[in-house]
Amino acid sequence: MNVMDTRATSAMLYLDGVHVSFDGFHAINNLSLTLEPGEMRAIIGPNGAGKTTMMDIITGKTKPDEGTVLFDGVTDLTRLDETRIAELGIGRKFQKPTVFESQTVQDNLLLALNVDHSVRGTLFWRGSKAESERIDKVLETIRLTEARNRLAGSLSHGQKQWLEIGMLLAQDPKLLLVDEPVAGMTDVETHLTAELLKEINKTHTVMVVEHDMTFVRELGVKVTCLHEGTVLAEGTIDQVSSNERVIEVYLGR
C-alpha cells in the first residue's frame, strides 16, 4: 500500500480543545495540536505534562471529556476503540517496552504484520513468502536478525525497544506514536535509534515523546512542549529551549 499521504492539504492528526480529567485532576487541558503528513514531531515536557495521556486519547485507550480528535482530516478518533484505530493505521510504542516476552522475536513481528487479523484468518493462516521476506527486512532494519529465534523476554532493554519499533514497522501504519524510545539506552543505542527514526520518517508520519534533549536535538525536528496538559511552546528545539516559560517550567524558577 502507498504509505505517503496524498492529501497533504489536510492534517494527518488534528487535536482541538481536548479536555480529560481523572477524579477532578485535569490531565489534559484545552490541548490543541496538528501534525502534517510526513512530518516528525517531538513532544517534550516535564512529568505529568500529559504526554502519555495524549497518546492514550489518540489511540482510543482514554476517551476525552470534550474536544475533537481527527485523523486524516476526516475520521473522529474519539468514537473508535483501540483495535479500530490501529486498523486505521496508527501504531504505538509504549513508554515501557511491551513485547510478547514468551514468544520469539520473529513471532512478535509476525503478529505485528498488518495482514488479516480476523479469528478465521489467523486460524487457517499459513505462512507466505512475502510475509517472511517482510519480516527478514524488518529484522535487518532493527539489527535483530541473529536473535530472531530467541524469546523476546531474553532480549536486553535496548533490543526490546528496537523490537517494539520493529513491530511498528511491520504493522506499517500511517502514523507512529513513539513514547520514550531511548529510555534506558546507552549513548550508542540512542544514536542508532535516532538514525532509525529518521529512516522511518522518510516513509511515515511520526510523533516522538522524549525527555532526552540530546536525542531530540539529534532528531532535529519541530518540537512541542506540553505543560499541565496544554501546549506551552512550539518551534525548533532552540526556540523552545530558549522560551522563558519553558525554562521556568523545567527549572522551576
Partner 1 sequence: MPTKSIHDIAASFSRRGVLAATAGLMLGLASISGAKAADDTIKVGVLHSLSGTMAISETTLKDTILFLIDEQNKKGGVNGKKLEAVVVDPASNWPLFAEKARELITKDKVSVVFGCWTSVSRKSVLPVFKELNSILFYPVQYEGEESERNVFYTGAAPNQQAIPAVDYLMKEEKVKRWVLAGTDYVYPRTTNKILEAYLKSKGVAQEDIMINYTPFGHSDWQTIVADIKKFGSAGKKTAVVSTINGDANVPFYKELGNQGIKAKDIPVVAFSVGEEELAGIDTKPLVGHLAAWNYFESIKNPANEKFIKDWQTYTKNPKRVTNDPMEAHVIGFNMWVKAVEKVKSTDPDKVIDALPGIEAPNLTGGTSKMLPNHHITKPVFIGEIKGNGQFDVVWKTPSLVAGDAWSKELDGSKDLIGDWVGKKCGNFNTKTNKCLGSGS
Partner 2 sequence: MPTNLSARLCTFVLSLFLIAFALPAFAGPFEDAVAKFANDDFSDTEEAIAAVASSGNKLAFPIISALQDGRLMADSDSKKVYVTGADGKSIDAATGEAVASVPDSASAVRLNNRLRRSVDAALGSLTLQSPDVGTRLQAAQSVFKSHEETALEPVDAALAKETNKSVKTALGEARAAILLFKSDATEVEKLEAVATLRARGDQEAMALLTGMGDQPASVTKAAASAISSIQSSLAVWSTVQNAWYGLSLGSVLLLAAIGLAITFGVMGVINMAHGEMVMIGAYTTFVVQEVIRTRYPGLFDYSLLIAVPLAFLVAGAIGVLIERSIIRFLYGRPLETLLATWGLSLVLQQAVRTMFGPTNREVGNPSWMSGAFELGQITITYNRLWILVFTLAVFAILLAMLRYTALGLEMRAVTQNRRMAASMGIATSRVDALTFGLGSGIAGIAGVALSQIDNVSPNLGQSYIIDSFMVVVFGGVGNLWGTLVGAFTLGIANKFLEPVAGAVLGKIAILVLIILFIQKRPRGLFALKGRAVEA
Partner 3 sequence: MTPHMLTRSLDRGATIFLLVVAAIGVLIPLSNLLLPAGSVLQVPTYLVALWGKYVCYAILALAIDLIWGYCGILSLGHGAFFALGGYAMGMYLMRQIGTRGVYGNPILPDFMVFLNYSKLPWYWYGFDMFWFAALMVLVVPGLLAFCFGWLAFRSRVTGVYLSIITQAMTYALLLAFFRNDFGFGGNNGLTDFKDILGLNVQAEGTRAALFALSCLALIVGFLICRAIVSSKLGKVLIAVRDAESRTRFLGYRVESYKLFVFTVSACMAGVAGALYVPQVGIINPSEFAPGNSIEAVIWVAVGGRGTLVGAALGAVVVNYAKTFFTSGMLAPYWLFMLGALFILVTLLLPKGIVGTFNAWWDQSKEKRAAASTSAAAEDGVTQPKMAE
List residues near partner 3 by CB under 8 A: 59, 61, 81-83, 86-87, 91-92, 94, 98-103, 107, 110-112, 114, 117-119, 122-126, 146-147, 150, 154-159, 167, 171, 186, 189
Residue with the three cell numbers 486505521: 88
149 binds partner 1 (CB under 8 A): yes
Which range of residues in 20-28, 103-111, 141-149, 232-240 is near partner 2 by CB under 8 A? 20-28
Residue 239's identity, in one-letter code, is: Q
Q: Which is nearer to partner 3, 37 or 158 (CB)?
A: 158
Alpha-carbon span 141 to 156, nearest angstrom? 17
Q: Specify whether the CB–CB gap between 229 and 27 falls below 8 A.
A: yes
Give the one entry of partner 3, partner 1, partner 2, none that residue 25 binds, where binding means its C-beta sits below a cut-off of 5 to 8 angstroms depending on kind. Answer: partner 2
Q: Which is nearer to partner 3, 21 or 128 (CB)?
A: 128
Tally of CB atoms within 10 A around 65: 12
Which range of residues in 7-15, 82-90, 99-107, 161-169 is near partner 1 by CB under 8 A? 99-107
Task: Figure out which of the listed residues 95, 104, 114, 201 binds partner 1, where binding follows CB under 8 A.
Answer: 104
Distances in whole angstroms, Cα of residue 213 to Cα of each of 59, 180, 196, 220, 234: 25, 11, 17, 10, 15
124 binds partner 2 (CB under 8 A): no
Q: Specify whether the CB–CB gap between 32 and 91 falls below 8 A.
A: no
Cell (9 digits) for 50 = 500529559
Q: Which is nearer to partner 2, 22 or 124 (CB)?
A: 22
Q: Among candidates 157, 16, 7, which has minimal Cα distance to 78?
A: 16
Q: Rule CB under 8 A: which residues touch partner 2? A: 22-23, 25, 27
